Amino acid sequence: MTSGAESKRITVQEIMDRLHVCNATVYDLLKRGEIPALRLNRVYIISRHAYEQWEQNFGTRSKLIS
């Protein structure tokens, strides 16, 4: 991890906190390909930049629930 600087990757926990949803919801969004990510075996690698772009366009709780 980078010391003092923001990581280039975002964690599932950070996404949960930002969207105010549970981890099952985040993993469901990842599995459906709605959140941009790369999957290596069982691990999702989520670019902070790509996630933040997605969040600006689609990532509000009201849009996820409707």
AA letter at 58: F
Residue 66: predicted pLDDT: 54
Cα→Cα distances 24→7, 16, 27, 48, Å? 23, 9, 5, 20
Other residues' Cβ atoms within 10 Å of the Cβ of residue 29: 19
pLDDT in tens, 8-65: 999 999 999 999 999 999 999 999 999 999 999 999 999 999 999 999 988 665 566 5
52: number of CA atoms within 13 Å, CB side? 7
- Note the pLDDT of residue 6: 74
pLDDT band at 1; cut points 50, 70, 90: very low
